[in-house]
Amino acid sequence: MPINPQQVRAQFPTLQREVRPGIPLTYLDSTATSQKPLAVLQAMDDYYRHSNANIHRGVHTLAEEATALYEDARAKIARFIHAPSARQVIFTRNTTESINLVAYTWARANLQAGDLVILTEMEHHSNLVPWHILQAERGIRLEFIPVTENGTLDLEAYRALLQQSPKLVSFTHMSNVLGSITPAAEMIGLAHQAGARVLLDGAQSVPHFPTDVQALDVDFLAFSAHKMCGPTGIGVLYGKADLLEAMPPFLGGGDMIKEVKLRSFRANSIPHKFEAGTPAIAEAIGFGAACDFLTSIGMDAVAAHEHEITAYALERLEEIPGLAVFGRENPHRGGVAAFTLQGIHPHDVAQILDSDGIAVRAGHHCAQPLHEKFGIPATTRASFYLYSTKEEVDKLVDGIYKVKTYFG
């Protein structure tokens, strides 16, 4: 069923507030982090009020309840991405840590000097810096799939790079600046034909449209709870079971061990091998509740609603003189509109919009090389989610006209 945004919005307390007296919030920054529904807040509150205990280590009632809630959340997330087993869902702090986990474990165990890793020019810093660190440490090679003028990846250049026998291809499923949705299934298939493993950054895709790791045949998938109606401080790395089993531990300490002696240890089985110490228990429970919430609405419905809102936003923004939306010509895009306004700095645009309660993001959005590619230091970014409305888009457009008036 199509989304009724007003019914959805009623479940998000933050969306009901005024940022200043008489000025309601217009939240257009969901690409940075989404708002949280009551179902998520209540699930976390219930855990702290009624079942607060550490997990996997106690046999008393609270410990068993907490453990069951934590592992049930893992199972919900596995179902949400169609993972074959919950054992393949590793809890991390966020997408960034998930990518670093692959870089520090799988990559350091499998990559040698001269080995090629293929990235793209549209990557978030989280999928660039870990590989720069490994390049400096290990001497691996990095090559980048170019971004075309319309915001898509140059697949012919990608095919040429694959002729160099890469060991890993790592790319975003959706750009947090251009909104471009990359042809992940096709790219993964081509990488596998070339003998490479694939790490997919799903931070901007998993929250916004259906994701099936088995259909994609992806080796690793990284994503975060806070961008999909869940809490901050927790994310997931999905991996194929044989890869996870072969990877060395990431961090050492409690819960990631099977046995410890003074001079040796044996690591636990997956997923616990990668979850050292007391985890973010309440956050995991909130993550599971977020998956339940999104499932109850339907990810196809979420994607359809965002497509409608984004199409309307692009149409309205196009009418503003001097405004340029990046990736505007790409038909395969998500709910992001990053733009520049001629002669006005993006931070000034965002600050004046905030005076009317309109929350957008300004800067390079942790994608500095992509901005350099287009010859600009920064953009203003409006982003949309399942609770966004056309009325909010109209407020944004009115606010931009106010910015233009302010700067003459």
Catalytic residues: 366
The 8-class DSSP code of residue 107 comes to I
The residues pairing with 235 across neighbouring beta strands, listed in sequence order, are 92, 224
Inter-helix orientation angle 155-162/184-193, to 10° = 20
User: What 3-state class would DSSP assign to 239?
Assistant: strand
Distance of CA 87 to the CA centre of its chain: 21
Backbone angles phi, psi at 380, to 5 degrees: -95, 135
Q: What angle do CA 285, 216, 306 make, to 5 degrees?
A: 65
Task: Specify the DSSP class assigned to residue 278.
Answer: S
Q: Which among 278, 184, 166 has a CA at the least distance from the CA of 223?
A: 184
Look up residue 204 and give its two tokens.
């901007």
Residue 363, Cβ neighbours under 10 Å: how many?
16
In the chain, how long is the greatest CA-to-CA distance? 72
Q: Do 21 and 210 contact (CB within 8 A), yes or no?
A: no
CA distances from 200 to 184, 308, 328 (A): 8, 26, 24
Spatial CB neighbours of 10, under 8 Å, sequence gap ≥ 6: 16
In angstroms, the Cα distances linking 199 to 68, 240, 392, 399 are: 30, 11, 35, 39
Dihedral sign of CA atoms 184, 186, 190, 195 in order? positive
Residue 380 CA to chain centroid, in angstroms?
Answer: 19
Separation of alpha carbons 145 and 9, rounded Å: 39
Distance CA 98, CA 177 (A): 21
How many residues would you count in the chain? 408
Q: What letter represents residue 385's amino acid?
A: Y
Asked if 120 and 144 count as a contact pair (C-beta separation under 8 A), the reply is yes
d(CA 203, CA 94) in angstroms, rounded, equals: 9
Nearest to 284 by CA among 88, 119, 40, 87: 40
